[in-house]
Each structure stands twice: as structure tokens, then as C-alpha cells.
């Protein structure tokens, strides 16, 4: 077992999510400015200025930021790409995430001071390919989602100086690590250019045709069988994190989800941080991490292919729904002054709302005319409002998402603390994770 803890790498779709990921336990985040990133739409939430602000925020806390330049450029874009690489390097990220061999070489020429991480889009699954990229100057590979832990260990054995990063949580792709054109054909949005429309998640109706006499009829399907024919469940390897860390072959575990919610960024960082720390403290408890992860919106969970080969799996596809509701809804997010929250769902007076705070946060119990913050027998902290007051002291009967007024707290709570309530309309997710 390694002496140094394996890195926890979280998604940063914008500056707020970057801060949330760090405050809830991430060691590093990845994200990028729109151009040449595989999340063009989410990348638009970062400007060069705010991305630089995020890098400075990370470095001030001893954290890291990896910049994504992992799209596949056309010939007409090469000159623009060169300028983009130089611009990104000037922001001083801790690494550049790159997918194409030609872009690897460009980065080595234009930004030799910045380490290069090879994107999962390069589909590395064996030591031969890993060696080729290592010889090109790559110092970390983000292995294909389809790789096995056995193969990860073999690569590490033969290339001990190559860092290896693997995905442990998030959306799975119907195709081979993103090599898909379904969205391009149907919507004109190219997945490998960063603008996937997630057509694989749609519900499809199947038809049969006979060209000899021009007949066309709809195929009747058994309920829940074949309707969502491409729709993969979400990866969830939290229950196997002890095996992953025990292998000593994995340098970084990565969470997918730059386009997902701030709550997702918080919970996944919190759960996997807890799992990593608990492993090294010899108190690993998979049920604890799975409880938290189930509170996020998901398509059902699968432990994917790292532990089991694809032909051994029969639970990776979700044939019933494209996106479920998690077991909790976020009702509020505490503002930077730590005295107010912004409503994200709905909040009523005289109702208990659970407090989900950043890692190692200290919460003080309090009770006054606004409400109370207190700890229940379950060990969790809750908030209950006697009055719902805006920053200007206007009293409301309730507050709902879309309301842009800051709402007063009865006492201070740490910045980026989330208020959450159980969702009464949760679909039956029994059996959605084999962990």
C-alpha cells in the first residue's frame, strides 16, 4: 500500500462548483474555458478571468486545477488551438488534459513547463499505448472507463513512473469512452467536439418495415425492456474503493460531472473523501458512502467494468428511465457572508431541514426569534425557521426557487453549506447498484 493518499479529483463546471468541490473534500479539480474542451456548454461558464481566479483559489489552499484541452481539432482550428494552449498555460494550471497525439506534441512545444495528462478519450487500456504516450512526454494517463483493475496494476508494474487516474463515479457512455456520433447524426451536436446532446438517454420507439408491400408497424415491447436501448446507468465504485486503493496502482480517482449540479459536486466530493480517509484509517464503510451518493440525481448505479469484465455484467443499462430523482432535494445554499441562504427549492416555517456542511465544518447550536440550529439524536444538524425573513426584514410565508432575496439564518453557517430535505417522490431504485 502506498504511503501517500490517492488524490481525489472532482469536476468544476464553474467557479462556484470549483469552490464547492474543494470545500467538500477534493484535492484537485478539472475544468476549462469553452474552446477545445469536451464540455463546451459548461465551459462557457468559465472565462479566462474566472478560471484564473479558480486556479488562484486552489493554489492558496494547496489544491490543484487541471485544464481541459481534450477536444479533437480540425485543420482549420490548429492556429487558434496554438494560441489557446499559450493562453491557458499563462494561467499556470497544474496540468493540461489532452486527448490527441498531435495536441500532446503541441503542448510540449508551446507549454513545456506544464505537465500533460492524457484524456480518457485516448482510450488507453494497455501498457503498450501507455508507453507510447509516456515516451511523448505524458506523465499521467486517465485510463479508459472500460479498463480492468488487473490491467491498471499491470501498467503500473511496467511503467512505475506513469501516474494513473481512473473514473470512479458519474455518467457512463454508450460508446467506447465517448467515441460516439449518435448526437451528431440526430442533432448536429458532435460528442467528440464537446457538445453532446445525450441522445443515448432518450426513450426510443421501435418499428418494423416490409419494403415489398410498404407496411410499417410499431413493435410492442415488454414494459421496461428495450425502451431506453442505449441508456447506461451511472458508474458508482464507492463500494470498491478499498480494493482500488489497496492495489497501490491508482494515483488519482476521478468523479465525472462538470454539467451536474452544485449539490452533486458537494456530495460526491464528500462521499469519496470520506471513503479515502476511512480506508487509510482502517474504518472503511461502504454503506455510509452509498447513502450519501443515493441522495444525488442518477440513472441508477452500476459498478461498471473495473472489477468485472463487460461480458460478466448484466446491470449496466437502465431500460426504465433516463434520469431519476435523488432521495434529497437541496432547499438552500449559504452565501459568503454566512448569515443568509439563497433558496434552491422551497422552505417553509416550522419544518426541520437537514444541514449538509463542508468537510470538517464547525456548527454552533443556536435558538432565537428567527429559528434554531440544533443537533438531533441521529448525529445530524438541522435548521428550523420560526420566521422566514429577507435581508431587508420582509417576512414571507415561504420561499421558493427563483426568489432572488437572501434569507436570514438564525445563526452563522459555513459558506457553501447546503440545506436539504428528503424527497417524497423518489422512484424505486432497488437493485440499481450491484455494490
What is the pLDDT, as a whole number, of residue 384?
Answer: 98
Of the candidates 310, 311, 337, 299, the residue with the CA atom closest to the CA atom of residue 427: 299
- Tell me which fold the domain 7-176+234-311 belongs to: TIM Barrel (3.20.20)
Alpha carbons 211 and 215: distance in angstroms, whole number: 7
What is the pLDDT, as a whole number, of residue 2?
Answer: 46
Q: Domain extents for the chain?
A: 7-176+234-311, 328-422
Helix (H) or strand (E) holding 28: strand 28-31
What is the pLDDT, as a whole number, of residue 296?
Answer: 95
The stretches in the chain having pLDDT less than 50 are 1-2, 40-43, 427-435
Alpha carbons 408 and 355: distance in angstroms, whole number: 15
Alpha carbons 31 and 44: distance in angstroms, whole number: 11
**Residue 159 cell numbers, joined:** 511503467
What is the pLDDT, as a whole number, of residue 425?
Answer: 62
CA of 48: how far to CAs of 31, 44, 62, 153, 203, in Å? 11, 10, 21, 37, 38
What is the pLDDT, as a whole number, of residue 435?
Answer: 43
**184, 191 Cβ separation under 8 angstroms:** yes
- Tell me which fold the domain 328-422 belongs to: Elongation Factor Tu (Ef-tu); domain 3 (2.40.30)
What is the pLDDT, as a whole number, of residue 42?
Answer: 44
Task: Return the SS3 of 201.
Answer: helix
**382, 374 Cβ separation under 8 angstroms:** yes
Please state whether the predicted TM-score (pTM) of the whole model is above 0.75: yes
Amino acid at each position: 500500500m502506498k504511503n501517500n493518499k490517492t488524490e481525489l479529483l472532482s469536476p468544476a463546471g464553474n467557479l462556484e462548483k470549483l469552490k464547492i468541490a474543494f470545500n467538500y473534500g477534493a484535492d484537485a479539480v478539472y475544468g476549462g474555458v469553452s474552446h477545445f474542451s469536451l464540455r463546451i456548454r459548461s465551459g462557457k461558464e468559465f472565462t479566462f478571468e474566472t478560471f484564473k481566479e479558480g486556479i488562484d483559489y486552489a493554489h492558496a489552499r494547496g489544491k490543484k486545477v487541471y485544464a481541459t484541452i481534450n477536444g479533437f481539432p480540425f485543420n482549420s482550428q490548429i492556429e487558434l488551438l496554438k494560441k489557446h494552449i499559450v493562453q491557458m498555460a499563462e494561467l499556470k494550471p497544474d496540468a493540461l488534459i489532452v486527448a490527441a497525439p498531435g495536441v500532446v506534441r503541441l503542448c510540449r512545444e508551446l507549454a513545456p513547463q506544464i505537465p500533460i495528462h492524457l484524456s480518457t478519450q485516448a482510450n488507453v487500456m494497455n501498457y503498450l499505448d501507455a508507453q507510447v504516450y509516456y515516451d511523448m512526454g505524458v506523465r499521467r494517463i486517465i485510463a479508459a472507463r472500460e479498463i480492468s483493475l488487473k490491467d491498471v496494476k499491470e501498467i503500473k508494474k511496467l511503467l512505475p513512473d506513469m501516474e494513473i487516474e481512473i473514473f470512479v463515479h458519474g455518467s457512463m457512455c454508450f460508446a467506447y469512452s465517448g467515441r460516439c456520433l449518435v448526437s451528431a447524426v440526430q442533432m448536429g451536436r458532435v460528442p467528440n467536439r464537446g457538445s453532446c446532446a445525450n441522445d443515448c438517454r432518450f426513450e426510443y420507439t421501435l418499428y418494423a418495415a416490409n419494403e415489398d408491400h410498404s407496411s410499417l408497424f410499431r413493435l410492442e415491447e415488454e414494459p421496461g425492456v428495450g425502451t431506453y436501448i442505449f441508456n447506461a446507468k451511472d458508474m458508482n465504485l464507492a463500494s470498491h474503493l478499498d480494493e482500488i486503493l489497496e492495489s497501490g496502482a491508482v494515483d488519482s480517482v476521478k468523479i465525472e460531472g462538470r454539467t451536474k449540479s452544485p449539490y452533486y459536486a458537494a456530495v460526491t466530493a464528500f462521499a469519496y473523501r470520506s471513503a479515502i480517509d476511512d480506508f487509510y484509517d482502517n474504518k472503511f464503510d461502504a454503506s455510509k458512502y452509498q447513502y450519501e451518493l443515493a441522495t444525488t440525481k442518477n440513472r441508477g448505479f452500476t459498478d461498471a467494468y473495473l472489477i468485472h469484465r463487460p461480458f460478466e455484467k448484466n446491470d449496466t443499462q437502465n431500460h426504465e428511465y433516463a434520469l431519476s430523482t435523488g432521495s434529497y432535494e437541496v432547499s438552500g445554499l449559504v452565501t459568503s457572508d454566512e448569515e443568509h441562504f439563497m433558496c434552491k427549492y422551497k422552505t417553509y416555517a416550522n419544518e426541520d431541514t437537514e444541514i449538509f456542511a463542508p468537510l470538517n465544518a464547525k456548527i454552533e447550536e443556536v435558538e432565537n426569534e428567527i429559528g434554531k440550529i440544533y443537533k438531533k439524536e441521529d448525529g445530524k444538524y438541522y435548521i428550523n425557521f420560526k420566521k422566514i425573513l429577507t435581508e431587508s426584514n420582509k417576512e414571507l410565508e415561504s420561499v421558493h426557487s427563483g426568489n432572488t432575496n437572501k434569507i436570514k439564518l438564525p445563526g452563522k453557517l459555513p459558506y457553501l453549506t447546503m440545506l436539504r430535505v428528503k424527497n417524497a417522490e423518489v422512484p424505486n431504485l432497488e437493485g440499481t447498484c450491484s455494490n
